[in-house]
Every structure is written in C-alpha cells, then in structure tokens.
Chain A
Amino acid sequence: MELFWYIILMTMLAIYVILDGYDFGAGIIHLFFAKKEKDKKAITNAIGPFWDANEVWLIASGGVLFFAFPTLYASSFSGFYLPLIIILWLLIFRAIGLELRGQIHNKIWETIWDKAFGIASLLLALFFGVALGNVVRGVNLGNVVDGVSTHEAHYFFLPLWNPSFSPHAEQLGIIDWFTLLLGIIGVVALTIHGANWIIFKTNSDINEKLKKVVFNLNIVLLALVIISISVWHIIEPDPFHNFIDKPLLCIFPLIAFIGLFGLFKVKHFKKHGMGFVFSTLFLFGGLTSTVASIFPKVLPSTNNINPDLTLYNVAADEYGLSVGVHWFAIAAVLVAIYMVIQYKVFKGKMDDVGYGEH
C-alpha cells in the first residue's frame, strides 16, 4: 500500500513539474526574450487559462503527501522551513504579477508586474531544483551534534546556506554547490520547456528565435547533466546501485536521454508540439531517475546515528491508506475529465484569448 501511494505521489509531482514547469519557463522567457508588448501578450495568453489549474497539482501533491506520508510531510516541511516560506512568497508574486498586470494600463505598472512574474518564475525554477538536490543529498536527521541527536530522530532544521557551501559540511545548508547545480539544471530545463510551450501554443514572432534558444540551452543542459552525473558519487557513494539491481528502472534515464537528444532536432520539427513532447520526456525521466536512484529512501540521513526516512517508515496506517484508494480513484477520473475539457476548449494557438484584459 505504501508503494502504491509512493508511485501516486511521484506521478503527481512529475505532472506538477511538467505542467507548472512550462509556466515557470514561460515566465523566464518573458523576462529575458520578450521585448515587444505583442510577444509578452502571446506568452501570458499561452499560460493564462492554465497556470492556476497547474498550480493545483502542487497543492494536491502536498495534500497526498500529508495524508499518505504524514511523518515525511511534518519532517521535511518544518526542516525546510525557510525555503518553503520563500517559495510561498514567490508563488504569490508570480500569481499577482500575472493577474494584476492587465488591470491598469500604465507602462510602469505593467513593467513592475512583468518583472515580478518573470523574476519569481526564475527563482521558483531555481528553488525547486535546489529542493530536489536537498532531498537526494539528505539532511542531518535528528540534528546530530557531536554524535548526539538534539531532536527526535526524524526532525531537522536547515539554514539557507553555510559558509563552506559544501554538501559534506558538518552543518549542512539548503544551498551548497551540489544543490545549486541541480537548481541551475532546473532553470535551464524549465526555460527550454517553457520555450517549447510558447512555440506550441502561439504564433508569436519570437518563436523562430526561441528555437535557437532551445537548441543552445540544450547544449548547456547536456553539459550540466554530464557534470552532475559525474559528481553524483560525492553525495551517494554508489549512485547507480538501484539501476544495476533492478535493470527495469533504467527505463527512466532512458526516457530522459531520449528527451534530451530529441531536442537537438528542434529546428526540424514539423509539428509545433514536438519540442514540448521531448522536454516533457526529459523532465519526467530526469525527475523519476533522481528519485529512483535513492529508492526506497525518501529523505536520506547524513549521519550514521539516525536512520534514513524511507517510504515505509513515514507512511500512514494501513486502513487509512486503503480507504483513500477509493476516493482517490473517483477523484483521479474526474480530474482527467476536467483536463480533457480544459485542453479541448483551449486547444490550438492561444494568441487571441485575451488573458488579463478588463
């Protein structure tokens, strides 16, 4: 039962990253590449009717985490207190940037909310990458000092960074060079993803330019991925053991690489949606490979006093998890229906939706 909910939760998180990921990416493109009002409009139109529903995947994933793995929810949310609250503030800025921009027609007003939307999107992409980095690197569970736990074995607290910036420091921080590397991968990957969404959903003038951006960033992404894999042994001495023990798991990195290499052909795609398909494959494959590499751990311990949190020692009781399957199945069917309706109504190019016009 725990494994079932683990797969559900990871699937929901992957859907969140893929869907809200294009919103973040669109925000980053909006910040750096959209100079003309027309292009900015095209970008906000392309995500306008969707971003709110996309964000619900985060809230729903949080709900499922709370319900199925309450100990992990309690431990990680209190331990990662500061970055999570900062993520909340950024989510607020991104949302009001999008919603309020069109309410008043004034250059300065529009610029302020454009920047709020763009910068918040950029930082969110970075922070989500950093968050993933923290989960795979692990934390000092129980806040062990000099070989003694200062808190219960599954609680911890991390400052934003430590002076040494190292994932091996005695006193870890949220941001170190390893988690930052994953953060940058997040930014680059989501920028590509957002550009692909814009190419898919608009007839904007910058689409040709964006194809070049995707191509160039993809070279950067490939380089970053190679670097990260080659340093992975620093945080996990035996990073590939899961893939060697269970060869079936290799499907995930395979999917990631199909996505990554497929994107190099971006300039030759006939259908505008192809790029988006490949960046989706990369995000899905990359995320699942990362969590599969530490499976069944969900939050490793960096000390040898307190045990790792695994999906088995953080889960809710059997009855609750089984009864949840019933309502979840109904809800999942409904959500699928809503999504089909939503994407059917807003199918094709979105340049003329008129998002944010009042």
Chain B
Amino acid sequence: MEDMLFYDRMQFAFTITFHYLFPQLTMGLSLIIVYFKWKFLRTNTLKYNEAAKFWMKIFALNFAMGVVTGIPMEFQFGTNWAKFSELTGGIIGQTLAMEGMFSFFLESSFLGLFIFGEKLLGHKLHFVTGFLVFLGSWASGYLIIATHSWMQYPVGYEILENGKFVLNNFGALFSNPWLLPSYLHNQAASLVTSSFVVAAIGAFYLLNNKHNEFGKLFLKTGVIFGLISSLLVAFPTGDLVAKNVAKHQPVTFAAMEGIFETEKGGSEIVLIGQPNMLEKKLDNKIAVPNILSFLTYQDWNAEIKGLNEFSKDLHPTNIPSLYYAYHIMVGLGTIFIGLMLVAVVQLFRKKLYKTKWVLWSIMFMLPFPYIANTTGWYTAELGRQPWLVYNLLRTADGASPTVSSGNTLFTLLGFIGLYLLLGLLFLMLAGKIINKGPQLNNH
C-alpha cells in the first residue's frame, strides 16, 4: 500500500511538473505575441509582425507539447486518484469540466486560425484570433487555480454521511479568498518565464551578432515585461499568497519558513540554512531578526507559531523539500528582480545592447524562471500535504483502490521515457527555429 501511494504521487508529480513547463510559456507568450501584433497594427512596422510570426512558431510547438502532456493530467484524476475523484468530483468536476468547455474549445478552435489563417483573415482578424487564444489560455489557468484553491481552502461544500463532498454554493468556488491572489501570482510568474525567454533569445542574437534588429526588439520587450512581471510576482501577489498561507495553513507556513519553535518577540526571516529533522533546527542558518513578523503582520513583534505547536500528524509530509522549494523560489525571484532592474537601467542609459555581462546573464537566466515556477508549485502542493483537501481528506485516502503498485510503476516508467523523448524533440526543434531566426521580407 505504501508503495502504491508513493508511485501514484510520483507519477502525478512527474507528469504535472513536465506538463507545466509548457503552459507557463503559453500563457505569458500569447500575451507578448498579441502585444507584437498590436504594435504592428498601430505602427504598421513590418518588424513587429515578423516578430509575432517568429514567436508564433515557438508558441505552436510549445502549445502542442502542452496539449499532449495535458490530457494525461485529466485522465489521472480517475486512473490514479479514483477515490478522490469519487468523493470530490461533484465539486472539482465543475471547474474542470468548465475548463474543457470554456477554455480548451476557445484555444483549440482559434489556434488553428491563428497559425494558418493570417492570409485568409487579414491582420485585424488575425490579431483577434491571437487575442482569443490568449484569453482561452488565461481562462484555463483561472479554472485550474479555482480547482487548486478549493483543495487548499475548501468552500461552498457539505460532507454527506458516505464521505462525499457535495456542492452547496457554486458562487463560493469563485469568491474563494485563495483564488485571486494565487491566480495573479501564477499569471505574473508565467509572464516572468515568457519575458525571460524572449529576452534571452534577444541576448543570444546580439551576442551572436545575428538578427540584430530582432535581438534588440526581443531584449527590450523582454526586459520591460520581465521587470514588471517579476515585481508583480513578489508584490502584491506573492505577499498576498503568503499571508493566506500564514492565516489559513499556519503549520505549512512554519515549515516553509523553517520555524521549528515559536520565537518570542517576533520571528526572524531565514535567508539560508538547512533543515535538520533529527534535532529539529536549521543548520548553518543566516537570518535577519523580526523581518518575517513584519512582512506577515506589519508588526515587528507579532508571534508566528512554530512547528512545535502542531501535532505531528498535521505536519507537511516532507518538510525539507517544502522548505527548499520555497526558498529556491524566493531566492530566484529576488535575483530576477535584481537582474531586470540592472537591464532596464542599462536600457534607459542606452547601453544595454553593448553591456556584454548583462547580455550573458540574461541568456543564462533562461532556465531559472522554469525552476522558480516549478518550486513555487512544489511549495503549494507539498505545503498542502498530508491533505488532498485541506484538513478534510488525506492524500493516503484518495488513491485508486484497485490499481496495483506494479501497474503504476510500469506507467510511470513509460511516462518518463516518453517525456524524455518529447523533451529532446522539443529542444531540438525549438533550437532549430531559434537558430534560423525571424525573417524580414520573406513574403
């Protein structure tokens, strides 16, 4: 039984981690492409249209990967988490079914038109199809995070005698206080990934002395979008999400921040340190006193409960992973803001395109927003453990009762192999598109 739950969790974690590498680019990039197309319509400068067309190629490839790795997600609720689906399907089925009906149809119908329809539609309508694809992908994110929010902070439900969760207030699913901060935080983070990718490809062209005109355009667009979005990720959205966790999941908050024991007179913020689970303390700690209390409650001396105040069976299952995931996310987020600030300052001093070290840094930063997004989601998901539905349904009680561990291990290995192939193909083909670069006047 233990094995079974472990493989079920590993398979979901692996497939969702791999899957979300793609939508985080889809959502932000669709906005940037719509921006390029809009600039083209306003200025009638061909460069912007070519930029939109170039990113559309990456977008199409990325979107296809997102679709094929997304279908297994919906299936896995039933295949591996049957008990969870049976008990909560009447509630999370609402938002998941709405995602299919409202966003997937919108995205898929207009993606074809967006990619193949430029000649057929003319530029204005082509812009509209791009906007609709953007709208569909953001609606999809909204409904997924509505589902996620219900699992973190269940609302509008009652529990029947047979253990089934029954919806009694549809509106509550969308007025959930967890939803809006999480959604905005996630969308801003998705825009961070996309703007860093756009900026990194721009830096790559400039450093290569190839496609310089586009290199400059991508870099400029990327760093401006990048600065705005990395600021938004931290404040106000990240701040609001953290306050929600502190308020509604205090034990998770303690584990994330690495607070083993309640500190009198206000909590320090831990910058670096390794959780030592045997002695229940942080090793090699570097911390600043009272900052955490201030950030959380705007009071230097507010008390934040440590893990010692909660019974052990309420603790997150893997405290070190949760702690590291959270600190990697916050650390990277801080670096993103710093780098983008430097880049924007250099841009306004008209020196960005020649400041080699900034260009190299931006290029090498490309994978890190993906890591930050992933660890951010790990923080949310590991933080919810040991629960599937916070405080109401344990993860151990949600797995499929009849699927044996051997079968899940088999399919997990299958997914690993298949996704390795998909990842290699994606990198190879994206590399080919990037290496060829945008083309001016190739009509």
Contacts and interface: CB of A to CB of B under 8 A. Distances in A.
Contact of B89 (A74, A157, A327): A74
B75 A88 contact: yes
A317 B90 CA distance: 7
Nearest to A336: B105
Interface residues of A, number: 67
Contact of A62 (B74, B91, B116, B422): B74
Contacts of B102: 327, 331, 334
A334 B116 contact: no
Contacts of B87: 70
B83 A74 contact: yes
Nearest to A339: B109
Interface in A327-348: 327-328, 331-332, 334-335, 338-339, 341-342, 345-346
B100 A56 contact: yes
Contacts of B339: none
Interface string A58-81: 111011101110110111111101
Given A49-B113, A53-B108, A82-B407, A63 B74 contact: yes
Nearest to A323: B170
Contacts of A48: 112, 116
The CB with the most chain A CB atoms within 10 A, among B101, B111, B168, is that of B101
A66 B77 contact: yes
A338 B109 contact: yes
Contacts of B104: 56, 59-60
A103 interface: yes
Contacts of B170: 320, 323
A24 interface: no
Contact of A342 (B92, B99, B112, B402): B112
B296 to A, nearest CB: 36
A341 B68 CA distance: 24
B112 A50 contact: yes
Interface in B145-191: 164, 166-168, 170
Interface in B385-440: 400-404, 407, 411, 414, 418, 422, 425, 429, 432-433
A278 interface: no
Contacts, number: 219
Contacts of A319: 166-168
A92 interface: yes
A358 interface: yes
A78 B401 contact: yes
Listed residue (A316, A341, A354) with the most chain B CB atoms within 10 angstroms of its CB? A316
B74 A71 contact: no
Nearest to B402: A157
B121 interface: yes
Of A49, A84, A85, A345, chain B has the most CB atoms within 10 Å of the CB of: A85
Interface in A14-30: none
B56 to A, nearest CB: 11
A267 interface: no
B120 A103 contact: no
B67 interface: yes
**Which applies to chain B's interface (DSSP): helix, strand, loop or mixed?**
helix
Contacts of A103: 61, 429, 432
Interface stretch (A94-102, A124-132, A209-217): A94-102
A78 B90 contact: no
A353 B117 CA distance: 9
Interface of B: 57, 60-61, 64, 67-69, 71-72, 74-75, 77-80, 82-83, 85-94, 96-102, 104-106, 108-113, 115-117, 120-121, 164, 166-168, 170, 400-404, 407, 411, 414, 418, 422, 425, 429, 432-433
Given A60-B105, A85-B72, 17 more contacts: A55-B108, A73-B85, A74-B78, A78-B78, A78-B403, A82-B407, A84-B79, A95-B64, A95-B68, A103-B432, A104-B429, A155-B401, A319-B168, A331-B105, A334-B106, A335-B105, A353-B116
28 contacts: A53-B108, A56-B100, A60-B104, A63-B97, A63-B100, A66-B77, A66-B78, A66-B96, A70-B93, A74-B83, A75-B86, A78-B82, A78-B400, A81-B403, A95-B68, A151-B402, A152-B401, A316-B89, A316-B166, A317-B90, A320-B94, A324-B94, A331-B105, A334-B105, A335-B105, A342-B109, A342-B112, A346-B116
Interface of A: 48-50, 52-53, 55-56, 58-60, 62-64, 66-68, 70-71, 73-79, 81-82, 84-85, 88-89, 91-92, 95-96, 99-100, 103-104, 143, 151-152, 155-157, 316-317, 319-320, 323-324, 327-328, 331-332, 334-335, 338-339, 341-342, 345-346, 353-355, 358
